[in-house]
Amino acid sequence: MSRIGKKPIVIPSAVNLTQEGQKIIAKGPKGELNFILPEGIIGKIEGDIFTVNPAVENKSGVSLWGMCRSMVANLIEGVTNGYKKELELKGVGYRAQMKGSMLSMQLGFSHDVEYTAPQGVTVTAPKPTSVIVEGIDKQKVGQVAAIIRSYRKPEPYKGKGVRYVGEYVRSKEGKKK
């Protein structure tokens, strides 16, 4: 039995949640998102509560139960509040700036690293050493933040690189004589 899957989802008054067969559509103040429930999962809207249950109590149905509940909860959270990831650049000369809708970063390479965010995700650089990724889709926001971080991951000897705000990078000791 899934502990996460058993929890009902309370639908806020600002969100309009509709179901068309296996497709769940959430409309809110920030926008609209949808998710298609896999076969073997049943979703029910009863008033202002949404519940997810497996159609059959077999391994595949139960294994997807909690994931589907989390995905629908993420839809509701995204259309009401949105998601935000903050990154910071550590290192001498490491900086980021916006050139129109494109993020341009100097990360110690001989060239600038440029990144254009996909539709539905906004990237801003309020300070030269910070980058903020915002959007309503949790997966897209996390993916864009991971792509930006992958250009120069934090290295363990000097701590230079792009990291999430609050991320702890374990430092290693250098060479000894």
**Rounded distance between C-alpha atoms, residue 161 and residue 133, angstroms:** 17
pLDDT at 175: 87
Q: Are residues 87 and 160 in the same domain?
A: yes
Looking at 80, 106, 121, which one is the last position of a domain? 80
Mean predicted confidence (pLDDT) in 49-56: 90
For residue 125, is pLDDT > 90? yes
Check whether residue 25 and residue 10 sit in a common domain.
Answer: yes
Label residue 122 exposed, middle or buried (CB < 10 Å: 0-12, 13-18, 19+).
Answer: middle
Judge if 46 and 106 occupy the same domain. Answer: no
Mean pLDDT of 48-54: 92
On whether both 20 and 76 belong to a single domain, the answer is yes
Residue 1 has pLDDT above 70, yes or no: no
- Domain of residue 117, residue span: 83-164
Instruction: For residues 36 and 71, state if they share a domain.
Output: yes
Q: Nearest Cα to 75, choosing from 129, 24, 145, 22? A: 24
How much is the pTM? Answer: 0.89
Q: Which residues contact 85 (CB under 8 A, 6 or more apart)?
A: 132, 133, 134, 141, 142, 144, 145, 164
Domain CATH code at residue 40: 3.90.930.12
Count of domains for the chain: 2
C-alpha–C-alpha distance, residues 68 and 90, integer Å: 37
Residue 7 CA, distance from chain mean position:
22
Give the pLDDT score at 3: 85
Do 69 and 32 sit in the same domain of this protein? Answer: yes
Least confident of 13-27, 48-62, 63-77: 48-62
* 89-103: pLDDT as tens digits: 999 999 999 999 999
Q: For residues 75 and 146, state if they share a domain.
A: no
**Residue 74 has which token pair?**
């993420």
- Residue 47 belongs to a domain: yes
